[in-house]
Structure 1
Amino acid sequence: MTDSALVTGGAQGLGAAIVRALFAQGCRVAIGDLDVDGAAALAAELDPSGERIFAQPLDVREEAAFAAAYEAMAQRWGEPQTLVNNAVMTVARPVLEIPPDEFDQVMAVNVRGTFVGSQVFGRRFKAAGYGRIVNIASLAAQNGGSATGAHYAASKGAIITLTKVFARDLAPFGVTVNAIAPGPLDLPSVRRIVPEDRLAAMVGTIPVGQLGDPAYVAELVCLLAAERSGFTTGATWDVNGGLYMR
């Protein structure tokens, strides 16, 4: 297991599940989030001593924020080994009704955030000769699903492409970069976006017959963050209950 990891958007939802899984496997974790109170509450729940986990204020759109997070981790624990780009903005809106400014906002968080984080941490991982970057993409990027917004789907498609570019450039330096593309997960955010009747219909289309447990994704993050995953890079891992097969 990796020694220390930054999880962006880690205060709640899928990010919190990833934080919990990494921590349970012995990893030291920085919870990067604009919701500092939420991140601090999760950190205090998991480790009241604060020795193995802490909340890090993080605006993923800002290069300086990632640099500050890296330095905070390095001062506490030594050089970080893993970055999980999970922070996300989602607005469920029909494609013809998306204001251009809203499109830009979603892309700034989802795409710019992944790019900037991977660049800041990637440079340092390259210099160290080791690192793991795990990006959270989406099934929506693969099947053109627009239930969570076309700007969300487009941003996740860009993340899959960025994963490949960073993976190719960093592979010679002991750094792997992979993406995970979850399908519908059983999260409060999903239940807020999708009406109950549509949710039931959605579940009916999933071959395994249920929404995904966020823990399924979190456990895969742990695997891709491990040293033993050094021969896996540039891949997009599907966790979708069989909705998209290839």
Structure 2
Amino acid sequence: MQRNILITGASRGIGAAIAEALAHQNHRIIALSSSDGDLGDPDVPPRLWADSLDRLDGRIDVLINNAGVFEANPIGSDGAEWLASWNRTLQINLTAAAALCRLAVLHWQETGLPGRIVNIASRAAYRGDSPAHWHYAASKAGMVAMTKTIARAHAKEDILAFAICPGFTMTGMADEYMASRGGDKLLADIPLGRVAMPGEVAEMARWCATDAPPSMTGTVLDINGASYVR
């Protein structure tokens, strides 16, 4: 069945791989990137939703929230600077995703259509992250909790929600982080011996978006080479 799918953060890395995996199944896809609007601006998510809905003839079946930032925020920074960085990360990684999830749920309630949400979170939601990335870990933990809440609240309406928690993935963002913290040491912490590839995460997202059984709603899936098991 062809679905209308909205993906954020789809210009590269995991998001681009997800878009490619779904395109191979001939779904109609809106693949958004930062060039379409800054999710750090609270006014942008509603505009992007409305524009995408219009481009997809008034129906969105699947929302995939992948957009995010991973920016260092040392605790020794100036207080106002630290808070501004915290708020920016929470706005982009969590609040913008929440705004889009809300609009998706309202859309499916108003139309009576089934819908699926796939939120790309992080291993950091459970394991935490570096001392300079409190905000990133908090934003991803919030995304997981939000996903579970949506699933519990709306399963009876055939609105399903899944979260995927990658560890290090072979993207530009991870490359920079690994280089700054000693790549060999980080790889030694991954029993598989390598980081995940974007296509591996994309396959999980594709499956959740299209084929995962409804009884799986609320599930959080890990993909981290056994570097964190729970």
TM over 0.5: yes
Contact 2:46 2:100 in 1 (8 A): no
Q: Give the counterpart of 1:223 among 195, 199, 207.
A: 207
Partners of 2:14 and 2:51 lie apart in 1 by: 20
After alignment, is 235-244 or 138-147 more displaced? 138-147
Structure 1 pair 100–172 and aligned structure 2 pair: CA distance change class (3 A): same
Partner of residue 65, structure 1: 47
Deviation at 1:123, TM superposition (A): 0.9
Q: How many residues align?
A: 223
Map 1:44-55 onto structure 2 (within 5 A): none
SS state at 1:243 partner? coil
- The residue number in structure 1 matching 2:32 is 32
5+ residue gaps, structure 2, are none
Over 3 Å counting, the alpha-carbon distance change for 1:123 and 1:104 in structure 2 is same
Residue in structure 1 matched with residue 22 of structure 2 by the alignment: 22
Return 5+ residue gaps in structure 1 as ranges.
36-56
Q: Output the CA distance in 1 between the equivalents of 2:126 and 2:211.
A: 28
- Distance in 1 between the 2:150 and 2:48 partners? 17
Which residue of 2 is the match for residue 84 of structure 1?
A: 64
Residues 8, 58 of structure 1: 8 Å contact kept: no
Native 8 Å contact 2:22 2:206 kept in 1: yes
> Which position in structure 1 is the counterpart of 2:182?
198
1:235 paired residue number: 219
Distance 1:117 1:59, change over 3 A: farther
Q: How far does the alpha carbon of each residue in 1:7-43 deviate from its partner, in whole angstroms, 9 at most, with x for none?
A: 10111121111111111122211011222xxxxxxxx
| Distance in 1 separating the partners of 2:212 and 2:191 | 31
2:152 counterpart letter in structure 1: R
Matched, 1:115 2:98: yes
- Separation in 1, partners of 2:69, 2:181: 24
CA distance in 2, matches of 1:9, 1:30: 11
Moved more, 171-180 or 22-31: 22-31
Give the distance between the partners of 1:140 and 1:118, measured in 2 at CA: 21
**TM-score normalised by the chain length of structure 1:** 0.84
CA distances 1:82-121 after superposition (whole Å, capped 9, x unpaired): 0000110110233443710110011010111110010011
Residue 164 of structure 1 corresponds to which residue in structure 2?
Answer: 148
Deviation at 1:196, TM superposition (A): 6.4
Contact 2:121/2:165 (8 A) holds in 1: yes
| SS of match in other structure, 1:165 | helix
Percent identical pairs in the alignment equals 29
Instruction: Determine if contact 2:73/2:82 at 8 Å carries over to the other structure.
Output: no
TM-score, structure 2 normalization: 0.89
By how many angstroms is 1:67 displaced? 3.2
Structure-2 change in CA distance of 1:2 and 1:131 (3 Å): farther
1: CA distance, partners of 2:157 / 2:113: 5
Give, in whole Å, the separation in 1 of the partners of 2:173 and 2:71: 11
Amino acid at match of 2:188: G
Distance 1:122 1:2, change over 3 A: farther
The 8 Å contact of residues 53 and 60 in structure 2, kept in 1 or not, is answered as no
Instruction: Supply the AA of the counterpart residue of 1:13.
Output: G
